[in-house]
Structure 1
């Protein structure tokens, strides 16, 4: 007979969802996994977050009881949901407040979605770089990294976090910034959720000035489809193009196998700013990188790139992703990338331009280790073929410097070791021993 859960504290009784609740199917899943938790807490305030943590911690002292935190439910590793444990859902803690418009200081709760953030900040001509999808939650991205479509201009999302509120496993509340518990503040920016639950963040947003009356936060998005036969030559030309261009440019490629030994390349180039002569010249150069089969170009507001996405998440996404961070793509690695495209279960190989503002920070600025990386190589396959994908990706994995943990479906211990450099991992391990010595927060990537 299954053991019943202890009685809930009064603060949680009205926000708890059990399997028999009609709301259960709407709150138990991540985009990549259908969870089977014993209980979901739809927290509305910090008191409920604290009480949920301490309640779960007491159960965990005597039994296996997974504890997950979900903000947007978009995380590739699917650790925001679990089976037979508790999911702490922060989606109701979604307030976005501009503290100082002129200085660009913004307070955002962890459960907000980035599409809502972009829309809210548009009126004040403020912008915070986020991920590629509007339904990504603030909390998961803002403790892990954050590679957005304006990354080379803005840097990582975590690079603009200037404060945060953390609830640790003992229920203590920590107000963090460069002056208050600076080492722990360093750790939550890139260390993930292994020290506690960050309930809100203080960001330094970009203040945009423009002469364009049509767009408050203008950007130009260029899409190009190439058909190529020389992958190495193409990637060399692409790398040189974006590296020698303005930091206002960010570029993302998706490679797939084409007909007759060709490779198709779907390209999205993002220019952060107005469509100036410089922008037109840089984007025109992209048309000479390979054989162009289709192209478009459109100007829009940054917020318009992120549609209002509040769809139900049901765990049906079949993608499995791996990645590695590199400084270049030599010919041998280009040859290995071509091999990745051969199997029928492949969704594509993604190349993402890094560098720019991301690389301006020192390696120890926060807990993101790999500041010299200039390209991310990501491999997307059907999750039913994950084991074969791991084998195929191994030569590229060994060449890379490390990985972006939030962009990987691989939850193995070996993968966790790739998320941080040895020096960064050593600092994080010391923090773990101080703030979570009983290893309560184990569902996330952990040193």
Structure 2
């Protein structure tokens, strides 16, 4: 669709409480910006929904045009933080949920309801007021909806599980514009699919989560070594985490050392290997568990200390601001074998951009104790997930850094065991199949046929609803 041609929104405008923004409107240019600055698309309409009724109206309006043959693309935007930029479309409608931000904590029941436009930092702030938290991601301006629907990895995952493991139910708008609930009793198969299957089955407008006691302080933060120590550190780290208690979640990050208080001047601006830690348990025991890591080397800088959980949750925000150019490749591995370590250390030393920061997340713990078939999320048996992030301020140097990311990913290929769906770019159906595995993909496809047979919601890591005899 040519965005220079204004879409007719008169039918949608009737009864719509939110704002409708089109090309040429004062808000349009700002409204089409998303977190990943390398994505540049021009939608024909941005529908800022004020409530779930607006979402249903926007879906019905879009579905009528989709069925009418013009193939109107439909993007759904919560925080606009998707790596692949699929919360923005070319020439279609963006259903924007940022106006749906209500969060309701039920301290007595130990649950929280959060509308789909909320950001992770807002959920954290609301739950920490009662000393609780929902395991979520690592950057506070991430949208809650996309993170949850793909799985949700973060600093509490080894102790309490993924974000989807806390999901008790969800309210959503179907491709037909109907509002339904999915939980263990009502639409249980849809509930299964929402826990890892992404935005394939409808537009979730509200989530209900189980909360857990956390903080208010955790023992958390980074320890730095020069990048030349990467292979040696990773071999030690592999053994150190072998018997790690569930209270400990870590990530190894290769990046340029930032000018933080406590980072020595001779390391600032140079490549470093960093172990990010979060101990969510008794602090005295945590100090004992962290002792061997602190004695290794020793580190050039040790910024791991007791701090408010909210402070730790926001600690990586400056490393991932909106507007930078981001490109990602990702894979799961079973363990940090000698071969994986050597490949990682070799390629980490080749990082050129001072903005690139790629984490290797430690999995296991509570994640692995949920049955593989209990949710659509896949990869519970993996040991680590690589998020090979290439970052630049703009286009300058971006192609070279992207080539570096692809090169490391290809070098790790013999060790791939899967991929976390939220870390995918637009990489095609085969990669989506790899994210779920064939058996789970077939189950998700059946669910897609039941809830979105016309594939209205296709701007995501798409589960195609093709009939079984249609070749892929």
Report the TM-score when normalising by structure 1. 0.90
- CA distance, structure 2, for counterparts of residue 174 and residue 309 of structure 1: 36
Structure 1 equivalent of residue 443 of structure 2: 427
Deviations 1:26-70 (A, max 9, x none): 321211124311110110111110111111111122213211111
Does the alignment pair 1:58 with 2:64? Answer: yes
In angstroms, what is the RMSD of aligned CA positions?
2.6
**Gapped runs of 5+ residues in structure 1?**
209-215
| Partner SS for 1:164 | strand
Structure 1 equivalent of residue 247 of structure 2: 248
- CA distance, structure 2, for counterparts of residue 130 and residue 14 of structure 1: 28
State which of 324, 348, 355 in structure 1 corresponds to 2:364. 355
Residues 307/411 of structure 1: CA separation in 2 closer, same or farther (3 Å cut): same
How much does 1:256 deviate? 4.8
CA contact (8 A) 1:222 1:298 kept: yes
How much does 1:177 deviate? 0.5
Structure 2 equivalent of residue 211 of structure 1: none
State which of 303, 325, 338 in structure 2 corresponds to 1:318. 325
State which of 411, 414, 417 in structure 1 corresponds to 2:433. 417
Structure 1 equivalent of residue 221 of structure 2: 222
| Partner SS for 2:361 | strand
Structure 2 equivalent of residue 188 of structure 1: 194
Structure 1 equivalent of residue 395 of structure 2: none
- CA distance, structure 2, for counterparts of residue 83 and residue 146 of structure 1: 27
State which of 261, 270, 281 in structure 1 corresponds to 2:288. 281
State which of 134, 159, 162 in structure 2 corresponds to 1:156. 162
CA contact (8 A) 1:321 1:410 kept: no
CA contact (8 A) 2:175 2:451 kept: yes
How much does 1:291 deviate? 4.3
**Gapped runs of 5+ residues in structure 2?**
258-265, 392-397, 464-472
| Partner SS for 1:30 | coil
Deviations 1:179-200 (A, max 9, x none): 1111110001100001110110
Structure 1 equivalent of residue 468 of structure 2: none
Does the alignment pair 1:96 with 2:106? Answer: no
Residues 185/138 of structure 1: CA separation in 2 closer, same or farther (3 Å cut): same
State which of 337, 352, 358 in structure 2 corresponds to 1:330. 337
Instruction: Report the number of matched residues.
Output: 435
Q: Flag as ranges the 4+ runs of structure 1 deviating above 6 A.
A: 308-311
How much does 1:387 deviate? 5.0
Residues 272/425 of structure 1: CA separation in 2 closer, same or farther (3 Å cut): same
- CA distance, structure 2, for counterparts of residue 11 and residue 310 of structure 1: 38
- CA distance, structure 2, for counterparts of residue 227 and residue 14 of structure 1: 51
Structure 2 equivalent of residue 270 of structure 1: 278
How much does 1:390 deviate? 2.4
Residues 8/300 of structure 1: CA separation in 2 closer, same or farther (3 Å cut): farther
Does the alignment pair 1:109 with 2:140? Answer: no
- CA distance, structure 1, for counterparts of residue 248 and residue 78 of structure 2: 29
- CA distance, structure 1, for counterparts of residue 140 and residue 228 of structure 2: 34
How much does 1:445 deviate? 0.4
Residues 294/103 of structure 1: CA separation in 2 closer, same or farther (3 Å cut): same
How much does 1:228 deviate? 5.8
How much does 1:233 deviate? 4.4
Does the alignment pair 1:15 with 2:19? Answer: yes
CA contact (8 A) 1:323 1:403 kept: yes
- CA distance, structure 2, for counterparts of residue 376 and residue 288 of structure 1: 26
Q: Which moved more, 1:237-246 or 1:222-231?
A: 222-231
Structure 2 equivalent of residue 367 of structure 1: 376
- CA distance, structure 2, for counterparts of residue 267 and residue 300 of structure 1: 17
- CA distance, structure 2, for counterparts of residue 20 and residue 263 of structure 1: 44
How much does 1:227 deviate? 2.9
Structure 2 equivalent of residue 402 of structure 1: 418
